[in-house]
Amino acid sequence: MQRFLDVLKPGGEESRLAASLDPERLPRHIAIIMDGNGRWAQRRLLPRVTGHRAGVTAVREVTEACVALGVDALTLYAFSVENWKRPRAEVETLWRLLRQYLRQELDCLLKNNVRLGAIGRLDALPAIVRQTLNETIEATAKNDGLRLNLAINYGGRAEIVDAINQIIRESPGGEPVAISEEAITSRLYTAGLPDLDLLIRSSGEMRVSNFLLWQIAYAELHVTNTLWPDFRRIDLLRAIVEYQKRDRRFGGLNGMLDDAPAEPVLAEVAALPGR
Ligand code: FPP
């Protein structure tokens, strides 16, 4: 955190926001729906793919900011299972861009002690992209800083379906199995990552777009009107400042014990007349 403050211009809004953060309550896991690339390009009368290219700068800046802040995990929605429906040229550009990013950023990932991971139906990726992805994952596997997690050919429903199918496959002799929340959570692509604390969506739309459906159960949501290619460190700081103002109750009430027994409360209700 101090390292982060040191690089900011003193007196500016970024350093004011950063100084107001409580380092003890930073989100451990942030996920981002990087939306608005197409609109960014259209507003400049440029082809949509220019917006995706410009989005890579934002990816780099946000990753470096998370490293400096000491966030544990950052999950970025790079390509959804639905994105295949886009025009072929755009889909091809997205794959090319992803591969380029992986090759170009490796040094930067290593320098920042970032460990790369990927979630999604990765078997369906173009073979050449999968190969570069695997090589980059391998090359950064020993890093123990930020876990940068790219969601590629990812769908939240598909992830839950995959987890349940895995439970069924693991059942000895195909016996019927009891499914628990724990059983599903531990078979999601995100198993092993900290619980999701903050989901950010750029470019103003109030949708979750099939992203991390299970994991967002108790995450805080932050939507900004900034289009993804314009998203910068200051936007991340604003999101975290707002996150720290939220009262996270996880379905309970503040000041209530985590394991507060429901029984005495229910006994009170049971004693009410009018059953
Ligand atoms: C959504 O914007 C964005 C995507 C489908 C792709 C996101 C990809 C990048 C930011 C670049 C590559 C990523 C990495 C990790 C290197 P949109 O096209 O739906 O925007 P629109 O809603 O304005 O049309």
pLDDT band at 253 (very low <50, low <70, confident <90, very high): confident
Say how many Å lie between the CA of residue 122 and the centre of ligand 1.
Answer: 18
Q: Measure Cα distances from 251 to 8, 185, 224 in Å.
A: 37, 19, 25
- Give the catalytic positions in this structure: 35, 83
**Integer Cα distance of 1 and 170 in angstroms:** 43
How far apart CA 115 and CA 139 sit, in angstroms, is 9
Query: Rounded mean pLDDT of 40-54?
Result: 97
Query: Which residue's CA is the closest to the ligand 1 atom numbered 22?
Result: 36
Q: Which amino acid is at 152?
A: I
Quote the DSSP letter at residue 249. Answer: -
List pLDDT tens digits, range 116-158: 999 999 999 999 999 999 999 999 999 999 999 999 999 999 9
The Å distance, Cα 83 to ligand 1 centre, comes to 10
| pTM, 2 dp | 0.92
What number is the average pLDDT over the span 208-236?
A: 98
Question: Scanning the structure block, which residue is given the tokens 């400049």?
Answer: 44
Give the domains, in start order, of the chain with CATH numbers: 25-270 (3.40.1180.10)
Q: How confident is the model at residue 275 (pLDDT cuts 50, 70, 90)?
A: low
Average pLDDT, rounded, for the chain: 94
pLDDT band at 255 (very low <50, low <70, confident <90, very high): low
Average pLDDT over residues 41-66: 97
**Atom 18 of ligand 1, residue of closest alpha carbon:** 38
Percent of the chain with pLDDT over 90: 82
Q: Cα(1)–Cα(11) distance, rounded to whole angstroms? A: 17
Rounded Cα distance, 189 and 120, in Å: 7
Cα 57 to Cα 243: distance, rounded to the nearest angstrom: 24
In sequence order, which ranges of 121-188 are alpha helices (DSSP H)?
127-139, 156-170, 181-185
Q: Is the CB of 150 under 6 A from ligand 1?
A: yes
Does the structure show a pLDDT above 90 at 249? no
3-state secondary structure of 151: strand
Helix 88-111 and helix 127-139, axial crossing angle in degrees, nearest 10: 10
Ligand 1 closest atom vs CA 80: 5
